[in-house]
């Protein structure tokens, strides 16, 4: 498993699940991996030791090291190691604008969203998403950081202009009042929703992230929500992911497809052993892969 912090709940649970099912698993700090890019004998090493011989890799790449993490993952893929989520799929999902464009092209419901580099037409951008209040996001933000609610046209404009002064990319999205500071997280494993929960933000905060003090409860989703979550994961090419949706008056809309979803909130809220389901999916895929290889032989 590529992960910087082996003590995180999600990483500990994946290790426990793998060991419980008789596997050997190593947690390797992504930033301590180095490689030799060559045509005939590419190498990848960690603390002087070769990383050859692994059957599979579970990439848990932090958002802040996406570029280097994907480079390492691509090297492992070149060497024949199967990845739970491949580098192309993770790259698509990490680019918030690109992922939204992919989903929109295939008819997945999304909040009305605007994106621009210049603040010259800020007023028009705000109107494009329906006017204040609006949600203003940094493209690089995670866990609710870099997400601000512009409650009035004036405050929204001030925030946008402040973000642009530090030369960052931003998205503007309509504020969906009827969601009432809550969202639905569906956990997808192998094209199926294996667990779902409702997250609600703390009093006075429109963000529902658990890391920001939100709460989580088990939630029964509708057939439409299930279908949208599964389709969104497939469009991103992700085998395992979290799909975050808002319930609106005109149906569910997708906020984000997360390629490295946390397991703590959803396991504790639902009582479902998601970590074991992930390991079982890896087992099934590798068994099928080995069977196909023998068939070719």
What structural domains and CATH numbers belong to the chain? Answer: 113-175 (3.30.1490.20), 178-277 (3.30.470.20)
The pLDDT value recorded for residue 41 is 84
Q: Whole-prediction pTM value?
A: 0.89
Per-residue model confidence as pLDDT tens digits over 197-229: 999 977 766 665 655 567 899 999 999 999 999
Q: Rounded to whole angstroms, how far apart are CA atoms 17 and 203?
A: 35
Mode of pairing for the β-strands spanning 82-83 and 134-138: unpaired
* C-alpha pair distances (Å), 127 with each of 104, 118, 122, 153: 20, 16, 9, 9
Q: Rounded to whole angstroms, how far apart are CA atoms 126 and 155?
A: 11
Where does the pLDDT of residue 117 fall: very low under 50, low under 70, confident under 90, or very high at 90 and above? confident
Q: CA nearest 245: which of 212, 204, 199?
A: 199
Round to the nearest angstrom and report the end-to-end CA distance of the chain: 30
Whether the pLDDT of residue 93 is over 60: the answer is: yes
Whether the pLDDT of residue 241 is over 90: the answer is: yes
Which of the listed ranges 70-84, 120-134, 165-179 does the model predict with the highest average pLDDT? 70-84
Q: Rounded to whole angstroms, how far apart are CA atoms 144 and 95?
A: 16
Per-residue model confidence as pLDDT tens digits over 123-163: 998 999 999 999 988 766 555 567 888 999 999 999 888 87
Peptide bond into 74 cis (omega under 30): no
The pLDDT value recorded for residue 207 is 62
DSSP state of 17: H
């Amino acid at each position: 498993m590529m992960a910087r912090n082996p003590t995180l709940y999600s990483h500990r649970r994946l290790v426990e699940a793998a060991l419980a099912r008789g596997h050997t698993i190593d947690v390797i700090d992504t930033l301590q991996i180095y490689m030799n890019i060559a045509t005939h004998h590419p190498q990848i090493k960690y603390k002087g030791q070769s990383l050859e011989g692994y059957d599979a890799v579970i990439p848990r790449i932090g958002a802040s090291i996406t570029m280097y993490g994907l480079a390492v993952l691509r090297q492992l893929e070149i060497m024949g190691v199967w990845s739970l989520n491949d580098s192309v799929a993770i790259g698509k999902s990490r680019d918030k604008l690109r992922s939204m464009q992919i989903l929109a092209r295939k008819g997945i419901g999304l909040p009305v969203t605007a994106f621009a580099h210049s603040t010259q037409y800020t007023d028009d951008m705000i109107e494009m998403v329906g006017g204040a209040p609006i949600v203003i996001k940094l493209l690089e933000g995670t866990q609710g950081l870099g997400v601000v609610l512009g409650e009035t046209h004036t405050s929204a404009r001030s925030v946008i202009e402040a973000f642009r002064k530090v030369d960052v990319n931003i998205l503007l999205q309509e504020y969906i009042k009827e969601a009432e500071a809550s969202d639905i997280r569906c956990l997808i494993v192998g094209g199926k929703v294996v667990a779902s929960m409702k997250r609600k933000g703390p009093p006075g905060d429109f963000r529902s992230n658990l890391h920001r003090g939100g709460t989580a409860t088990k939630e029964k989703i509708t057939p439409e929500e299930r279908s949208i979550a599964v389709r969104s994961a497939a469009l991103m090419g992700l085998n395992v992911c979290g799909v975050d949706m808002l319930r609106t008056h005109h149906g569910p809309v997708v906020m984000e497809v997360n390629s490295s979803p946390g397991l703590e909130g959803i396991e504790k809220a639902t009582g479902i052993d998601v970590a074991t389901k992930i390991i079982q999916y890896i087992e099934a895929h590798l068994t099928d892969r080995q069977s196909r290889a023998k068939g070719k032989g």
